[in-house]
Amino acid sequence: MHAQDDARPVVQPLVIPIFIPHMGCPHQCIFCNQRAITGKSAQTPSLDQIHQEVNRFLKFGKERPSTTQISFFGGSFLGLEKETIRSLLETAMHFVRAKDVDSIRFSTRPDTVSQESLSLLDGFPVSTVELGVQSMNDHVLDAAGRGHRASDTLVAAGLLKNRGYELGLQMMVGLPEDDEDGAMETARRIAGLEPDFVRIYPTLVLEGSQLAGRYRDGRFHPMALAACVTLVKRLFLYFNTHHIPVVRMGLQASDGLTRAGGFIAGPHHPAFGHLVHGEIVLDAISSALDRMEKRPDPLTISVHPSMVSRVQGLNKKNICRLKKTFDLKNIVLHQDERLAKNHLVVAGAHITLP
Ligand code: SF4
């Protein structure tokens, strides 16, 4: 998805991802397959490997955006050994000193953030920290085996904001013991922390995770894709009204959890964000048509060229749904470059998308 289209304009940096498997993580989150992944082969990348990876990205990032960041992700950065943290930061700092990279970002567990752990970052150009919040309900956190409380997130977010870091919060939907109301409550509490951006991930069943066993013996039922898309849409719209950008919905193949394969079940789709935006557009057009006393057929929808695929929906699902629901024979999409990307004209009625 494009964050520029979201609530608050965010210039997306070029992010150079460095995967840090959380070796020796003492926790056992039920959705995590890092134990299976990290068993023997994966190690914290060597400094040489990081150099190679960053240089590879810099070579291919021809048109550099305004900001370039090295991102340590996949584990809990501040949960690593102090020496490892320092040496990873030193390595990244080399590229900042050379002016190839602007800053460093990482993701970490809320309970790894303290005055002491943050003091390790002093003097390093870290700009952004993301917290794996997952839920703001202690019962759900317990059921997920997270090993931290919602209060840890409150404390961590406060410390990070006080020190002036850009703050990202990640939440999950579809965890055991959670439901739609629970997800909305988590979103409300996350919004109250005033993050600079959020990410929303569905709970997937991955090989090697505890959820895999529960799924196989029928004790865990992942969300269906359609229900998950609709729930994430509600969350997106909620954050949107609070002017909090949602920079990611759904996992990408390159994300740590899907690394090494092993996807078994759950609401995974490579274009998850596109599905959510498609549903938002479908809702907007449907309410415009609902309000019309007489609907023209063929129906003309004018749209900026870059938004055509969102209006059509995946496999033109939106067009089929509109035809069926409103008994239309033909829908004509008219591309108009003069329209703003979040603006549609449906049979003369102007709609601004969230
Ligand atoms: S999700 Fe992170 S904290 Fe949880 S078990 Fe996996 S590596 Fe550890």
Please identify, by atom number, the ligand 1 atom nearest to the C-alpha of residue 76: 2
Distance 204 CA to ligand 1 centre (A): 14
Pairing of strands 205-206, 246-249: unpaired
Distance 228 CA to ligand 1 centre (A): 23
- Alpha-carbon distance of 177 to 56, in angstroms, equals 43
On average, the pLDDT of the chain sits at: 90
- Residue with CA nearest ligand 1 atom 1: 32
Strand, helix or coil at 172?
strand
Residue range 288-346, pLDDT digits in tens? 999 999 999 999 999 999 999 999 999 999 999 999 999 999 999 999 999 999 999 99
23 lines ligand 1 (CB under 6 A): no
Strand locations in 102-221 (E):
103-108, 126-134, 166-173, 197-202, 205-206
135 lines ligand 1 (CB under 6 A): no
Please identify, by atom number, the ligand 1 atom nearest to the C-alpha of residue 79: 3
Residue range 3-37, pLDDT digits in tens? 333 344 455 778 999 988 776 678 889 998 876 55
286 lines ligand 1 (CB under 6 A): no
Q: What is the pLDDT of residue 8?
A: 45
Burial of residue 104 (number of CB atoms within 10 Å: 0-12, 13-18, 19+): buried
